[in-house]
Structures are given as structure tokens and as C-alpha cells.
Amino acid sequence: MCYTDFMMMPAVTRGVYPVTVKNLLLYRVAAFDAHSYLTHAIFTRRGGYSQAPFNTLNLGLSVGDDPQVVKKNYEQVCQAIDISPEQTVSCHLIHSADVLTINQTNRQKVMGQADGLITATPGIYLSMRFGDCTPLIFLDPVCRAVGLTHAGWRGTIKDAAGATVRAMVTQFGCRASDIIAVIGPAIGPCCYEVGPEVLAAASPVLPNAATLFTRRNGRAGHAHFDLWEANRRQLLVAGLKQVIKSELCTACRTDQFFSHRAERGRTGRFGVIIGLRGAAV
Ligand SMILES: [Zn+2]
């Protein structure tokens, strides 16, 4: 695909909506609603037990919150979508483009280091935590496979989005054009000012990179980076036809989401979970 085609493609659909389930505010993807075999949720910071600055539904264990309270929050989010914490699988996020395939045989509650998880096994629910970095949520309704990826600026310049698509194609026989991807709540182009090191690293590798950066306030070497659009372009290059932007900026919406940038590092992490419905394993 030619990069200039990006502007021509009507591939952006806005399609997440808020709903309150068992006292938790969460978002669902409208395009996923028709698929009754699927369980998914983008959680917010509302409805949990943590005290400030982790108030209240913090799922991050590495941010300084009380581990017992985080555990209670995690049990609550699982309960809201009718699964148990034992059915979830997560990993240690390392800002890579490494993708792990999870099945009945290799599953563990924490899979080690990676930034993408994929599965086609019912009853395995992929789970990650976010606080500005981009959640990428994948469904192939034809193959019935799902994926979840964490893409901050480092993961984005490594093409974590494309790596996840390629892993789904290789591991499950998915066609890229069947896969639906959602760009979840993340720091938006309105708020994500970056410095020269990000500009230097991103410019040579991102599709049509010059149009992903906007210089606003005249700070030399700085610009606002559109991570949402960078990931959307990578997904289109990988062959997707349907990419849904949630258009929720975590830094603008600290009433609903945790934002590492807006809250100067003193904050929590919200969760995203997706899986194919199935019996407890
Ligand atoms: Zn913003």
C-alpha cells in the first residue's frame, strides 16, 4: 500500500460506548456486541477500592498501591464480566513487539515478558494494564481468535501492532483482512508531547511519519505525537480493513482513566480483558 492512500481510506469507525456493570464503569466495543462467544471489557478507574492517587479501580501491582487492594479490584473486574481471575493470562510488559501465543498447554497466569498476547482457545482471557500506552484489541470473527497488545511509543516504533497481526496469521491461519482491531483509550495527540529522542526514533520507521507530529508550542525539538494514528496506519499496512479508534485520551479524561503523564507518574493502571467464552480451565 502506498502511504498516501491512508488519507483516502474510510477505515476509521468510532465505536466504544460506556456501560455500568456491577458498579464498575467500563467500555464495550460496539462491533464486538454481535459476537456472543466473546467476552471483553475496557475498564476505567471507577468502581474500585484503592485510595488516592490510585483511586479507585487500580489493577497495577508495580505502582505502589496495596497489593491486597489491587487483588480485590482484580477480583471485582473479573466478576463484572463473569469470569474468574484464574482464567486470565497476563504478561510482564517490556515495550517490545514480542507476541506470545497462549493455549491449553502453555498457559500460565503470568506468561513472562511480552507486549502482545494471542489465543484461539475458549476459556483463556487475555488481560493487560494501561495508563497512557495504547491498548490494541483484536478479534478475528472468522477464525475465532483474539489478541491484546500494549503499544507505547517504543512498542509502536517496533510495530507491535503489525507483529500481533502477523502472529495471528501464522499461528491460527487468520486472514489479516478478517481481523478487527480497536485502538483503546491512550494518551492522545492533544496531550502527548514528546522530545527529540522520540522524534528521531520514530521518523525513519513510521508510515508517513511527518504527519504524525504537530509542533504546537514552539519548544525546540518537541512535538505532539499521534500514537493512535501511528498504530492505525501500522494496522492498515498489516492488511486490516477495519480499525476502530476509541478516541478517548487518558490524559484529558483522568476522571475515567489513569494517565501516567497527566498525573506525573503517581497513578494506577486500568485493565483491558478479552477472551473467547468457555468453561473454567
Ligand atoms: Zn488529551
Convert the pLDDT of each residue in 64-79 to its tens digit.
999 999 999 999 999 9
pLDDT band (50, 70, 90) for residue 3 = very low
Residue whose C-alpha is closest to residue 179's, from 171, 191, 187: 171
CA distance 143 to 35: 12
162-202 pLDDT tens trace: 999 999 999 999 999 999 999 999 999 999 999 999 999 99
- Distance (Å) from CA 190 to ligand 1 centroid: 4
Strands (E), the chain: 12-14, 16-21, 24-29, 38-43, 88-92, 99-102, 110-113, 116-119, 125-130, 134-140, 145-151, 180-183, 193-194, 213-214, 223-225, 242-245, 270-276
- Distance (Å) from CA 247 to ligand 1 centroid: 9
**In the prediction, which pLDDT does 216 show?**
85
Residue whose C-alpha is closest to residue 209's, from 197, 193, 185, 227: 227
pLDDT of 27 over the 60 cut: yes
CA distance 3 to 268: 37
Q: End-to-end distance of the chain based on CA atoms, in angstroms?
A: 42
- Distance (Å) from CA 154 to ligand 1 centroid: 19
Rounded (10°) CA dihedral 272, 127, 156, 114: 170
pLDDT band (50, 70, 90) for residue 280 = low
| Residue ranges of domains in the chain, CATH in brackets | 3-276 (3.60.140.10)
CA distance 195 to 265: 18
- Distance (Å) from CA 126 to ligand 1 centroid: 27
pTM: 0.94
Residue whose C-alpha is closest to residue 230's, from 2, 6, 5: 6
pLDDT band (50, 70, 90) for residue 217 = confident
CA distance 205 to 116: 20
- Distance (Å) from CA 254 to ligand 1 centroid: 10
pLDDT of 12 over the 60 cut: no
Query: What DSSP element (H or E) covers 200?
Result: helix 196-202
- Distance (Å) from CA 277 to ligand 1 centroid: 34
- 157 phi, psi to nearest 5 deg: -70, -20
- Distance (Å) from CA 250 to ligand 1 centroid: 7
Question: Helix 160-172 crosses helix 227-237 at what angle (to 10 degrees)?
Answer: 30
- Distance (Å) from CA 189 to ligand 1 centroid: 6
- Distance (Å) from CA 191 to ligand 1 centroid: 4
- Distance (Å) from CA 248 to ligand 1 centroid: 8
pLDDT of 278 over the 50 cut: yes
- Distance (Å) from CA 157 to ligand 1 centroid: 21
**In the prediction, which pLDDT does 14 show?**
56
Q: Tell me the mean pLDDT in the region 115-124.
A: 98
- Distance (Å) from CA 187 to ligand 1 centroid: 6
